[in-house]
Amino acid sequence: MDKYPVLETERLILRQLTMKDVDFLYELYTTDDVLRYFGMSPIDSKEVAFSMVENYEKHLETGGPMRWAIVEKHTNKMIGTCGFHNISKAYKRCEIGYDLSPDHWGKGIMGEALSPLLSYLFADKGMNRVGAVIVPYNKASSRVVEKLGFRQEGLLREYILQDDHKYDAHMYSLLKKEWLSEF
């Protein structure tokens, strides 16, 4: 089986999700604060988390979406995930997604985790454009991508449906030439 590249920062290791991560994923994806503007309902079993890991393994073989475990170096504990999806190889674009355990919010962790992911997308995956879709109420998530150089492009009206609630979403993007000039 192919493996994800391990991406490393000063405080973090981004590695492939494994079946050992199922308990963490179940806890994360049943936490109301994490899912508030995530665009998905809570998962209803550990089997769903198991299937998520299995699906990312299958996607690796076909060049589909990828999702990394975010692990703290000093504790070796998983604290969140990040990755990319909505891939258009023909147009060299994709979207990123990410989540973090609430007790790690506000520490600059997600920006640190996304930086090597963006470098990977532009350098290794050949992307020209990376997007991020963010509910306007999620100010912290907007700040994360803005600090990385993303620009807000517009409002996608009633773009997200979660638990029978419709949410508008801001579309952000970062181009390869902008990333290369900044980092």
Q: Per-residue pLDDT averaged across 77-86, rounded?
A: 97
Token couple for 43 = 């998962």
- Of 100, 109, 102, which Cα lies nearest the Cα of 73? 109
CA dihedral 112, 114, 116, 117 (to 10 degrees): 160
- Of 82, 103, 83, which Cα lies nearest the Cα of 94? 83
Q: Tell me whether residue 1 is in a domain.
A: no
d(CA 64, CA 50): 18
Query: What would the pLDDT profile of 3-25 be if each residue is shown by its tens digit?
Result: 899 999 999 999 999 999 999 99
pLDDT for residue 1: 43
Confidence of residue 183 (pLDDT cuts 50, 70, 90): low
User: In Å, how far are 30, 58, 159, 183 from 38, measured between CA atoms?
Assistant: 12, 23, 12, 28
Q: Tell me whether residue 169 is in a domain.
A: yes
Domain region containing 158 = 7-182
> Which CATH number goes with the domain that contains 127?
3.40.630.30
Number of structural domains in the chain: 1
The structure tokens 């079993």 sit at 45
Q: Name the DSSP letter for residue 142.
A: H
Query: What would the pLDDT profile of 149-171 be if each residue is shown by its tens digit?
Result: 999 999 999 999 888 889 999 99
Q: Tell me whether residue 2 is in a domain.
A: no
Q: Name the DSSP letter for residue 21.
A: G
